[in-house]
Amino acid sequence: MVMRLIFFFISLSCLVGVIHASAGDSDPRYKDCVEECKITGCRFSSDGVSVDGSWYMQEPLYLQWKQWDCQSDCRYHCMLKTEKDREILGTGPVKYHGKWPFKRVFGIQEPFSVAFSALNLAVQFHGWLSFFILLYYKLPLRPQNRKPYYEYTGLWHIYGLLAMNSWFWSAVFHSRDVDFTEKLDYSSAAALLGYSLIVAIMRTFSVRDEAARVMVAAPLIAFVTTHILYLNFYKLDYGLNMKVCVAMGIAQLLLWAIWAGVTHHPSKWKLWTVVVGTGLAMLLEIYDFPPYGGYLDAHALWHATTIPLTFLWWSFIKEDAEFRTSNSMKKVK
Ligand SMILES: [Zn+2]
């Protein structure tokens, strides 16, 4: 197992190495094209804009925006041009600035990833809503305080909110990749992964005591917060972020897998399916392939696989709530 993990991290760091090298943007044809485009194609940002009146104050910002737009448009058109040349020569696609050459659809950079992120968001919302209805309207509530019997209710509510937040920013980021959308996507994903690791520990070890919960959560929250601050305000280190996220992901998959192996939980087969399915889906992130037809790449497929897995995951959570509630009711009687 340790050997396999080491192998996994080695192949991961190789992948990161490939990302940083980006063969496409060092291609002289591409470089020349971008240089030329900057001179001939960006004229709109420097001519004929009125500078008097109340618009004066907004002028620099407006120009900046246009300038940025011009650079990204130049890069895009030069990438398509270079890719066409490569195709004629019979060479396969390469990455540009760390990204595969995607074709835009209505100005959206990666339409498939956006669509799948939106579907993930919808499935998360449906799961969370049905969980809410189950707990507060279908299952019995404690007569003393009208609160659910299920001890993990609050934890799953926060999980649902963090998951929806993270899919929202994923959809935004894949629509248009700029510095702040990228940071929000990465930060939300790290927060969700860190938090779901906390929930995994709480549930698999049945941590129900308030003090014990604080002891488990505090160091992990401190670690994830530091990691997110580091990414946003010090250095957006893709390699490091990938390692941290994979480590947190593998840790919780192992916890759930071991727990599913020893528990007599009635829905453990659902847990197994989600664990094995997520493990297999993660391979898509590692064996990255270029977008099929310029649209469908490994990352988009990875976002597609989490849609049915999320559906199954919330169904496990709901059955866990029913199971725990009926156990508590038996004890009360
Ligand atoms: Zn993504």
Considering the domain architecture, whether residues 87 and 221 belong to the same structural domain is answered as: no
Is residue 175 one of the residues assigned to a domain?
yes
Cα 239 to ligand 1 centre (Å)? 16
Cα 119 to ligand 1 centre (Å)? 13
Cα 293 to ligand 1 centre (Å)? 19
Tokens of 28: 């002289």
The CATH number given to whatever domain includes residue 310 is: 1.20.1070
The CA distances from residue 168 to 186, 275, 317, in Å, are: 12, 24, 22
Q: What is the pLDDT of residue 66?
A: 54
Considering the domain architecture, whether residues 205 and 282 belong to the same structural domain is answered as: yes
Which DSSP string corresponds to 99-148?
B--PPPBTTBS-HHHHHHHHHHHHHHHHHHHHHHHIIIIIS-B-TTT--B
Nearest by Cα to 170 from 154, 190, 155: 190
Q: Count the Cβ atoms, other than its own, within 10 Å of residue 245.
A: 18
The CA distances from residue 29 to 76, 80, 87, 100, 119, in Å, are: 14, 11, 14, 17, 39
Is residue 3 one of the residues assigned to a domain?
no
Q: What is the pLDDT of residue 186?
A: 93
Q: What is the pLDDT of residue 124?
A: 97
Domain boundary among 66, 101, 136: 101
Q: What is the pLDDT of residue 221?
A: 96
Is residue 169 one of the residues assigned to a domain?
yes
Q: What is the pLDDT of residue 14?
A: 46
Cα 169 to ligand 1 centre (Å)? 9
Say what angle helices 298-332 and 153-175 make with each other, to 10 degrees: 170
Considering the domain architecture, whether residues 42 and 167 belong to the same structural domain is answered as: no
Q: How many domains does the chain have?
A: 2
Q: What is the pLDDT of residue 26?
A: 80
Is residue 142 one of the residues assigned to a domain?
yes
Cα 117 to ligand 1 centre (Å)? 8
Cα 243 to ligand 1 centre (Å)? 16
Is residue 192 one of the residues assigned to a domain?
yes
Burial 116-151 (b: 16+ CB within 10 A, else e): bbbbbbebbeebbeebeebbeeebeeeeeeeebbbb
Q: How far apart are CA 219 and CA 40, in angstroms?
A: 54
Instruction: pLDDT tens for the chain, 333 residues: list them.
Output: 445 545 554 454 444 444 444 777 788 888 888 888 877 765 433 333 333 334 444 455 555 555 567 777 788 888 888 888 888 887 778 888 878 888 888 878 889 999 999 999 999 999 999 999 999 999 999 988 999 999 999 999 999 999 999 999 999 999 888 888 899 999 999 999 999 999 999 999 999 999 999 999 999 999 999 999 999 999 888 889 989 998 999 999 999 999 999 999 999 999 999 999 999 998 887 778 888 877 888 889 999 999 999 999 999 999 999 999 999 888 766
Contact 257, 275 (CB under 8 A): yes
Cα 98 to ligand 1 centre (Å)? 14
* DSSP tag of 292: B
With 0-12 / 13-18 / 19 or more C-beta atoms within 10 angstroms meaning exposed / middle / buried, residue 156 is: buried
Cα 58 to ligand 1 centre (Å)? 34
Q: Reduced to 3 DSSP states, what percent helix, strand and coil does the chain have, rounded to the nearest 5?
A: 75, 0, 20
Considering the domain architecture, whether residues 51 and 133 belong to the same structural domain is answered as: no
Tokens of 17: 């190495």
Is residue 286 one of the residues assigned to a domain?
yes
Considering the domain architecture, whether residues 241 and 179 belong to the same structural domain is answered as: yes
Considering the domain architecture, whether residues 135 and 70 belong to the same structural domain is answered as: no
Q: What is the pLDDT of residue 91?
A: 79
Domain that holds residue 185: 111-332
Domain boundary among 78, 101, 124: 101
Q: Which helix (H) or strand (E) holds 51?
A: none
Is residue 17 one of the residues assigned to a domain?
no
Nearest by Cα to 142 from 154, 155, 131, 151: 151
Domain boundary among 101, 131, 158: 101
Per-residue pLDDT tens over the stretch 62-117:
555 555 677 777 888 888 888 888 888 877 788 888 788 888 888 788 899 999 99
Is residue 262 one of the residues assigned to a domain?
yes
Considering the domain architecture, whether residues 276 and 144 belong to the same structural domain is answered as: yes
Q: Which helix (H) or strand (E) holds 319?
A: helix 298-332
Considering the domain architecture, whether residues 169 and 212 belong to the same structural domain is answered as: yes
Considering the domain architecture, whether residues 168 and 244 belong to the same structural domain is answered as: yes
Q: What is the pLDDT of residue 83?
A: 84
Nearest by Cα to 25 from 80, 93, 87, 98: 98
Considering the domain architecture, whether residues 95 and 121 belong to the same structural domain is answered as: no
Cα 113 to ligand 1 centre (Å)? 6
Q: What is the pLDDT of residue 46?
A: 36
Considering the domain architecture, whether residues 153 and 213 belong to the same structural domain is answered as: yes
With 0-12 / 13-18 / 19 or more C-beta atoms within 10 angstroms meaning exposed / middle / buried, residue 81 is: middle
Q: What is the pLDDT of residue 19?
A: 45
Which DSSP string corresponds to 53-91?
GGGGGGHHHHHHHHHHHHHHHHHHHHHHHHHHHHHHHTP
Considering the domain architecture, whether residues 179 and 303 belong to the same structural domain is answered as: yes
Residue with tokens 């595969």: 100
